[in-house]
A = this chain, B = another copy of it.
Amino acid sequence: MSTDGGFHVGVLVFDEAEELDVVGPFEVLAAWIEHSEIKPHVSTFSLDGGGVRLAHGLRMVPARSADDVGPLHLLVYPGGWGTRRLLADPGHLEWLRQVRAQTPIIASVCTGALVLAAAGLLAGRPATTHHHHYDELAEIDPSVVVDTEARFVDDGDVVTSAGISAGIDMALHLVSRLESPAVARAVREELQYDPDPPV
């Protein structure tokens, strides 16, 4: 792993990925750039480089394809209904295992963890996913130690978050871990992330 040219983050997008799974972490990590001394680069990419239609219909054009995104230091893998197809696609799971072997950190959001599990990447590890899918995660790989309490689980080279909005908290944690709590707090301040759910 080299950080020549900065720290490279790739946010994977695919058809029916959940909108906030993608954009919550993207926003945090992109805001990190302005506060960072380690020069993160943050790109979206799709497997074939083409545009995608997310879970609620939002259409997004990624910056790159999987072939041209280059070596990553951090891969963000979102959830959403599109994971149904991907976790049953042996070719995709093989691609993910290859990426895993070259990528220091893989971080899933929500049901992205189900695909990581299907690829064998969570075997014997603690992990979490969307709270409606704990059982499914355990069914895909019974050796996963499913954490039903955590907002996110940092197991070093594999980090998993709970459902949808939890990707924001996970991304702030990653900024804190990868650079410093002070920089993560600066990102939080910029995003005015003092959440106060009204219901």
Contact = CB atoms under 8 A, between A and B. Distances in A.
A20 interface: yes
Given A23-B23, A30-B57, 7 more contacts: A19-B26, A22-B23, A27-B164, A59-B61, A172-B197, A176-B199, A193-B195
A188 B199 contact: yes
Nearest to A27: B20
Contact of A23 (B19, B51, B110): B19
13 contacts: A23-B58, A26-B56, A26-B58, A30-B56, A59-B63, A152-B198, A163-B190, A163-B192, A166-B192, A169-B197, A173-B198, A173-B199, A181-B199
A31 B57 contact: no
B56 A194 contact: no
B196 A169 contact: yes
Interface in A142-179: 151-152, 162-166, 168-169, 172-173, 175-176
A191 interface: yes
Contact of A60 (B30, B60, B110, B197): B60
A83 interface: no
A198 to B, nearest CB: 4
Chain A to chain B: the 3 pairs with minimum beta-carbon distance, closest first: A163-B192, A30-B56, A195-B195
Nearest to A196: B151
Interface in A103-143: 110, 130-131
A93 B182 CA distance: 39
